[in-house]
Each structure stands twice: as structure tokens, then as C-alpha cells.
């Protein structure tokens, strides 16, 4: 049986931080299967999720997306961005999509775009809590209905499945809300029958 080879390019550890253009160009030219971008972290605490504001400067994110999109589209490979706008909430997703669409207009790029919203409605969470389906991870404080109702927003950390659905539907650019870092880089390999144990390792 022939071996399946997947070459992933991680453009940057965070989409708002820089990277050398020539490094990306060389990496893609060496036969990349896709370009992945982690755009967020929980290291900054809950402020960005609650405020709906992005952490990085717009011009920096736009510069990085311009280079990533340019090289990936030229090579005919997908781009997968997870935890858009740093915190991955709906405002962060929309902010990132606005930049992507702006770049597409400016450069006359045409591609199939998938946006994956990971924000969860409070009523859905409250109902799940009242059915006893939510258990806090230690050392999280106790959760109650009031805390759910008063929180600004909630996001669920997606795995590989939503990304795989987008790729299977033909998306060339996938912009996801809150996302597991691993899912960004494991989704396509698993879709191409790389064992999960290998893809996630």
C-alpha cells in the first residue's frame, strides 16, 4: 500500500505575529499540502472573549493573511485558520472574515470560503446545565444558571470534524471560531486516511 504523505505549513504560532515572507514562500514551494494558522490562545485570559475585541493589530493580521492566501492560492492548497481573531467568538470570526473578503476584493482573488462559528447560545447551555449535562473541570468554580445568563459569550472548542466538513464541501479557505490547535493540523491528514494517532501526535 502506498504511503500517504502530508506536508503541513504552520505559518505562524499566532496570526497577529509576524513571519518572514521568504520562509513561507520556500515552505509552500517544497510541496505543502495545506497552510495552517493558529490565530488564538487562552493565555491572555478572558478579556478578549468577553469584549469581542481582537488581540492583534488589524494591519498585522491583514499582512499575514495576504501572504498566506497568496501563496496557498498560487499552489492550489487549502488554508485553515483556527480561533479567529484570537478568542474565536462571533465578533472575532466576523472581524477576520472582513479582512479576508477585503483582501479578495483588493487582489481579485476568487475562492470558496467556509466560516465556522463556534459560539454557543446561552439558552442551549442553560438547558444542558439544567439537565445535568455540564460538569466543570477542576479547579473551576461551581456553575449555575445565573452565571450562564450573565456571561457575555461562550465558545466551544471545535475538533477536526467541522473543518473536515468544510474541506469536503470544497472550501479552499477555512476560517474557524474557537478551535483546538491540533485540529487545525490534524483535520486534513485524518481526512486523507492518516491514522488519528499519527495526525494528532
How many Å apart are CA 80 and CA 96, to the nearest integer? 13
What pLDDT is attached to residue 16? Answer: 79
Give the total residue count for the chain. Answer: 201
Q: How do the domains of the chain map onto residue ranges?
A: 8-119+155-199
pLDDT at 100 over 90: yes
Neighbours of 20 (CB within 10 A): 9
Q: Which helix (H) or strand (E) holds 82?
A: strand 79-82
Query: What pTM was computed for the model?
Result: 0.93
Q: Are 189 and 199 in contact (CB under 8 A)?
A: yes
What pLDDT is attached to residue 115? Answer: 99
What pLDDT is attached to residue 11? Answer: 87
Q: Give the chain's mean pLDDT.
A: 94
**Confidence bin at 135 (pLDDT 50/70/90):** confident
Non-local (6+) Cβ contacts of 106 within 8 A are none
Q: Which helix (H) or strand (E) holds 100?
A: helix 90-107
pLDDT at 42 over 80: no
Q: Where do the DSSP E strands lie in 83-195?
A: 113-116, 173-176
Helix (H, G, I), strand (E, B) or coil at 73: helix
How many Å apart are CA 31 and CA 3, to the nearest integer? 16
What pLDDT is attached to residue 1? Answer: 53
Q: Mean per-residue pLDDT for 97-110? A: 99
Amino acid at each position: 500500500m502506498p504511503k500517504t504523505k502530508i506536508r503541513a505549513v504552520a505559518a505562524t504560532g499566532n496570526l497577529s505575529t509576524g513571519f518572514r515572507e521568504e520562509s513561507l514562500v520556500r515552505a509552500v514551494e517544497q510541496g505543502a499540502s495545506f497552510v495552517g494558522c493558529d490565530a488564538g490562545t487562552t493565555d491572555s485570559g478572558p478579556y478578549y472573549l468577553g469584549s469581542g475585541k481582537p488581540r492583534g493589530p488589524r494591519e498585522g493580521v491583514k499582512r499575514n493573511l495576504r501572504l498566506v492566501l497568496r501563496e496557498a492560492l498560487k499552489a492550489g492548497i487549502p488554508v485553515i485558520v483556527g480561533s479567529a481573531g484570537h478568542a474565536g467568538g462571533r465578533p472575532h470570526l466576523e472581524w477576520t472574515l472582513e479582512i479576508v473578503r477585503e483582501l479578495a476584493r483588493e487582489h481579485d482573488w476568487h475562492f470558496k470560503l467556509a466560516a465556522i462559528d463556534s459560539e454557543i447560545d446561552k439558552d442551549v447551555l442553560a438547558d444542558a446545565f439544567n439537565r445535568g449535562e455540564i460538569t466543570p473541570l477542576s479547579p473551576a468554580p461551581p456553575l449555575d444558571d445565573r452565571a450562564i445568563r450573565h456571561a457575555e459569550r461562550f465558545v466551544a472548542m471545535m475538533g477536526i470534524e467541522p473543518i473536515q466538513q468544510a474541506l469536503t464541501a470544497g472550501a479552499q479557505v477555512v476560517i474557524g471560531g474557537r478551535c483546538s490547535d491540533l485540529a487545525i493540523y490534524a483535520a486534513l491528514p485524518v481526512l486523507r486516511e492518516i491514522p488519528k494517532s499519527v495526525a494528532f501526535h
